[in-house]
Amino acid sequence: MNRTIHIKLFLMMVLEYFIWGAWFPLVFGYLPSLGFGPAEQSWILNAFPIAAIVGMFFSNQYADRHFAAEKFLAFSHLVGGLAMIGLAFTRQFWPFFGLMLVHCLLYVPTISITNSIAFANMKDAQKEFGIVRMGGTVGWILAAWPFTFILVDWGKVKAANPEGFVAWLGTVLSSGLTGPALQNGTRWTFIVAGLASLTLAAFSLALPHTPPRKIEVGENRFAWLEAGKLLRHPFVLVLWLVTFVDAFVHNSYFNWTGTFLGTKAESGGVGIPGNWIMPVMSIGQIAEIVTMVILGATLKRLGWKMTMVVGILGHAARFAVYAFVPQHTEMIILVQVLHGICYAFFFATVYIFVDEYFPKDARASAQGLFNVMILGIGSLAANSVCPYLLQRVFTQDGVTNFRGLFLVPMAFALFAACMLFAFFHPPRKPEPEAEPAPAH
């Protein structure tokens, strides 16, 4: 691949996932501060999985076949970025929900559109895509770090009056916002995400031209309709149901971790300053990069089933640490590593399994089937249940029973691991037929 194009595709992925990573981790604790009830919070949070379901079934295929990819990307991020900035200045439910829905309906299809642009401009996708896609993980990590300087109690810094740059920097990094001030400051996450979206809108026009994809002869216009037929196979059905449970557990982490980390220790939380919550959570993405490097060797050693079981058990271990040793801040920070391991060993392994196990004409349908569960239905379930559990079931008189709360996803993770171990039995993959010898 041309080096200039390679750099452009990498930066495209950095910006694409920077946008998502900037607003997503802290939104769960921000919505209650606006006075939204659990049901209203669920509607807002579910704008993303609803857009994912719509996108998997309709938006992606339509955009892919009717628009130049880079122009669709530019339009989506222009309008979506303006909607995101608008969220920072909106405090009423219906306008907030409407802006979030507009952003998500335009943003979610761009996840696959960026992949399409990358694949269309690669000579060897197997060698080149992994490096380009790593830009997305880098972008998510980078999104966390500006907030170490944005979510700062500058009044406290001024009062300390540090002398010299080193003393000033130390005071800033140790003066994170907490409580209502942190919740109010979280609106900056939408401004940063919106500005990144507008930047990508402009940058998209500099990407290689990627014309609409033509419908090939015999291609099903609604290939996703074929996906449901795959569930007739017991091993596919088992993996699909386990994926639902794991997606629910995965999204429980995002729903609750930010609040848990920011809650004061005397109230059962960890008491991490507000400007360090997102960097701490980004440790999981750093671990994801390392884990992806060893994933191939792990699959060869453990096999499909055990690799995925280990990934699910990682969730159980992390929530167990949350539940039983919340007072050990170092342990809570260290256990964030498991988030990257959980993602790579389960979700990434599912994608690889589908790509390698299913015949070529069924891969797209199978990937869509599992994508709907990972980005759509599983997330939809978590976002509908988690706000209610946190604010109505496990919080009484302003004090949250985090131990009881985290035992819920821990139990679900253990159940999913046992279910996969006991019932996931894919038939042996047929050996590829040998190519006939060339005629002499």
Q: Max Cα separation, the chain?
A: 88
> CA–CA separation, 333 vs 318, rounded Å?
10
Tens of pLDDT, residues 159-199: 998 989 999 999 999 999 988 889 899 999 999 999 999 99
Query: What are the structure tokens assigned to 288, written together?
Result: 């994801």
The first and second tokens of residue 106, run together, are 């335009």
> Which carries the bigger pLDDT value, residue 259 or residue 367?
259
At 183 the pLDDT is 87
Asked whether the predicted pLDDT for residue 434 surpasses 50, the reply is no
Closest CA to 100 of 143, 145, 151, 49: 49
Q: Average per-residue pLDDT in the chain?
A: 88
Which H or E element spans position 223? none
Lowest mean pLDDT across 221-230, 336-345, 417-426: 221-230
Query: Contact at 8 Å (CB) between 372 and 230?
Result: no
CB neighbours of 276 closer than 8 A, spacing ≥ 6? 148, 173, 176
Predicted pLDDT at 440:
45
Measured CA to CA, the distance from residue 102 to residue 82 in angstroms comes to 10
- Res. 432: pLDDT tops 60: no
pLDDT at 65 > cutoff 90 = no
Kindly state the percentage of the chain with pLDDT values over 70: 89
In 28-74, at which residue ranges do the beta strands (DSSP E only) sit?
A: none
CA-closest candidate to residue 387, choices 22, 23, 30: 30
pLDDT score recorded for residue 223? 55
Q: Say what the pLDDT of residue 90 is.
A: 96
* pLDDT score, position 19: 97
Domains, the chain, ordered by start: 1-151+186-211 (1.20.1250.20), 223-424 (1.20.1250.20)
Phi–psi pair at 209, nearest 5 degrees: -65, 125
Q: In 57-164, where does DSSP find H-type helix?
A: 60-66, 69-87, 93-120, 125-144, 147-150, 154-160
Nearest to 256 by CA among 403, 47, 94: 403
In DSSP notation, 163-217 reads -SHHHHHHHHHT-B--HHHHHHHTTHHHHHHHHHHHHHHHHHTTSPP-PPPPPPT
On the question of pLDDT at 225 being above 70, the answer is: no
Residues, the chain: 440
Higher pLDDT, 404 or 121: 404
pLDDT tens digits for range 388-412: 999 999 999 888 999 999 999 999 9
For residues 310 and 430, the model is more confident at 310
Q: Say if residues 116 and 210 touch (Cβ distance below 8 Å).
A: yes
